[in-house]
Amino acid sequence: MDATQLYLRSAVRDPNLPYGIVFEFEEDRGWGKQESKKEDACGLNANRRIYWLMAKPHITRTFAPIHFEDLDPHRFEDLVRQLAYDFKQWQTIESIGRSGADGGFDVRAYEVQHSSNVPDEQDSEEDAPHPMEGNLWMIQCKREKELGPKRVEGIVNDAAIAESVPYGYILVAPAHFSKAAQDKFRDELRNRGVMEFYLWGAGELEDMLYQPKNDHILFAFFGISLASRRRSRTTEIRSAVSIKNKLRRALGDNPRNQSVLIRDLQDANYPYKNEYNDFDKRPRWKGYTVVEFHPLGMIVNVARYFAYFDKRKAEWDFTTSVNNVHPISGHRHIERDVKKEELRNAAKGFWEQIPRAKQVNFVCNGFVRFDQIAFIDDKGDTEYGIPHLFVEFRNERGPFSAFNQFIEINEHYHELLDELSRIRFFPSIFEKPAFGTVFTDKLVTLPDRIRSSLMRNGNGWVTLYDADKRHGFLKPTDVIAVDKTANQGEKNVLLKITNVYVTTGKELLDSYDYDPALKQNIEEQLERQVQTADIVRVIEAVVIYDWQVTQDRPVV
């Protein structure tokens, strides 16, 4: 692949599926020559232009056309005779096509002729109808897939109807008759004086076979039973409901933050990961944190990435360098991955320097259907003492039938990707985080209310507002202490500056409408009301500990 990069252009939800999202990628050659990087986020494959359906495709369950041509001619006649038994009230039905000398008949039938309920006294015994007499029907079977108007006319002529006109006539063939063929059939039979006539094509035959009363015929001739499939569907629903109820007993009605181990149904090497060379890329079992129940299944947290989001520009980006979902490990000793920790700290250090309003997380949740869980071990074992769910894995998708991806602004507010454009914001390589200037001779002064809250919480973040250039010396990654925050011999609270930007008083006044508490915070720090013409320096900072400075660990 050349230096062309591929990035997400759009993401559209599929309303037919739970958590269904269609991702569209496009090329962009405006970033210079860089090595193309393959990103893998919940199955997100960006190594070529592709429309990737993240959700399970919505498949309509149906049957292929019935292969009537697989029946030999005599068996086709048998099939038609079986279907004809229930068509009329017959006196007799005779299979004469097998003899060869059929006189134009494949099946001959006599319909019951109902006599009047009140006998006519003038009728003599000689004039009374014979009990076995009735309306004569001729049924012809042609196992041909195509019958045009001329062929239909020829079949009717060959039937010698003119010599002995039946009361009714049925022509049966596994074909799809055109309007012209049906019109020709109707005209020929009416001209010959036939009272009732029917043309049974492939569609009509399938309609009759799919009726519940003919299910035994469908099974006898083609090995298909809709009744057994209905029973199978009942079994599937019963199994899914049983799985759902067992999960609710094991995890409770509100399973949020509960843990489960999802295992591949085909795996036979648990718990020995070394049996697989590709276990890191394709784990056969993995622990997940549950998000919630869905009417059709269970949602678990698969990935959580550092992300950037500019609401005004409708732009976003994220980095797959590190997954921030807390891993669920077993009781075996896990060696510390120093390189992964360093990578995470570097990525977090970059993310912390984004303006706080644009710091978000890109979240990917996986959907496991109840009807795809084979069974549950609700007790677990000595390795993983949490419920084990056995599911048949699907290649790179693992146990998930769909994914739900969104931008998490905070715990209560999410942003969908439908109308957003992904840009390139995060670098491919993150620099090792470092401290800037650690001030030992200067302090930051905060209003009493903010300072007390900071001392009480002992962690978190703070935003400083400066309209008089008192803190103009502070830059991102600098460290400074907050005055009067020492408690019982401890040192003052330390702040690491994460971002500095300049805004206008007008923009701050406009923001009051959305955040009334912000007005009090800003005016307490400025010690006056904000003026429209003010130029305010906004300094965002995070609380750190003394040992971080001593050990040179800007990010933990």
DSSP labels for 9-63?
Answer: EEEEEETTSTTEEEEEEEEE-TT-S------EETTEE-SS--EEE-SPP------
Q: How high is the mean pLDDT of the chain?
A: 84
Q: Are 138 and 108 in contact (CB under 8 A)?
A: yes
State the average pLDDT over residues 198-211: 93
Tokens of 2: 């050349």
Compute the distance between CA of residue 24 and CA of residue 6 in angstroms, rounded to an integer: 10
Compute the distance between CA of residue 35 and CA of residue 5 in angstroms, rounded to an integer: 9
Compute the distance between CA of residue 305 and CA of residue 282 in angstroms, rounded to an integer: 20
pLDDT at 88 over 80: yes
C-alpha angle with apex 534: 531 to 536, nearest 5 degrees? 125
pLDDT at 25 over 60: no
Least confident of 110-124, 251-265, 392-406, 454-468: 110-124
| DSSP three-state, residue 304 | strand
pLDDT at 540 over 90: yes
pLDDT at 280 over 60: yes
pLDDT at 48 over 90: no
Compute the distance between CA of residue 477 and CA of residue 270 in angstroms, rounded to an integer: 46
Tokens of 367: 């959907």
Prediction pTM value:
0.63
Least confident of 131-140, 202-211, 265-274, 314-323: 131-140
pLDDT at 300 over 50: yes
Residue 53 pLDDT grade (very low, low, confident, very high; cuts 50, 70, 90)? very low
Compute the distance between CA of residue 71 and CA of residue 78 in angstroms, rounded to an integer: 10
Tell me the pLDDT tens digit for each residue of 54-76. Answer: 444 445 556 778 889 889 989 99
Least confident of 52-56, 229-233, 490-494, 536-540: 52-56
pLDDT at 376 over 70: yes
The DSSP letter of residue 191 is H
pLDDT at 332 over 50: yes
Residue 125 pLDDT grade (very low, low, confident, very high; cuts 50, 70, 90)? low
How many of the other CB atoms lie within 10 Å of CB of 500? 20
Q: What is the secondary structure of 219-283 as a DSSP string? A: HHHHS--HHHHHHHHHHHHHHHHHHHHHHHHHH-S--TT-EEEEEETT--STT-GGG-TTTTTS-
pLDDT at 1: 40
State the average pLDDT over residues 502-518: 83
Compute the distance between CA of residue 26 and CA of residue 13 in angstroms, rounded to an integer: 18
pLDDT at 46: 40
pLDDT at 127: 59
pLDDT at 54: 41
Over 140-184, what HEC string results? EECCCCCCCHHHHHHHHHHCCCCCCCCCEEEEECCCCCCHHHHHH
Nearest to 90 by CA among 142, 119, 133: 133
Q: Are 210 and 230 in contact (CB under 8 A)?
A: no
Residue 13 pLDDT grade (very low, low, confident, very high; cuts 50, 70, 90)? low
State the average pLDDT over residues 405-418: 90
Contacts of 106 (CB under 8 A, 6+ apart): 77, 80, 95, 96, 97, 139, 140, 141
**CA distances for 52 relative to 17, 319, 346, 446, angstroms:** 15, 19, 30, 51
Compute the distance between CA of residue 149 and CA of residue 180 in angstroms, rounded to an integer: 6
Least confident of 130-134, 295-299, 340-344, 460-464: 130-134
Residue 541 pLDDT grade (very low, low, confident, very high; cuts 50, 70, 90)? very high
Compute the distance between CA of residue 23 and CA of residue 85 in angstroms, rounded to an integer: 55
Residue 234 pLDDT grade (very low, low, confident, very high; cuts 50, 70, 90)? confident
pLDDT at 191 over 50: yes
How many of the other CB atoms lie within 10 Å of CB of 329? 11
How many of the other CB atoms lie within 10 Å of CB of 364? 24
pLDDT at 161: 67
Tokens of 96: 């004469």
pLDDT at 140: 92
Compute the distance between CA of residue 289 and CA of residue 95 in angstroms, rounded to an integer: 68
pLDDT at 87 over 50: yes
pLDDT at 378 over 80: yes
Nearest to 372 by CA among 402, 410, 343: 402
How many of the other CB atoms lie within 10 Å of CB of 3? 11
Nearest to 406 by CA among 19, 9, 17: 19
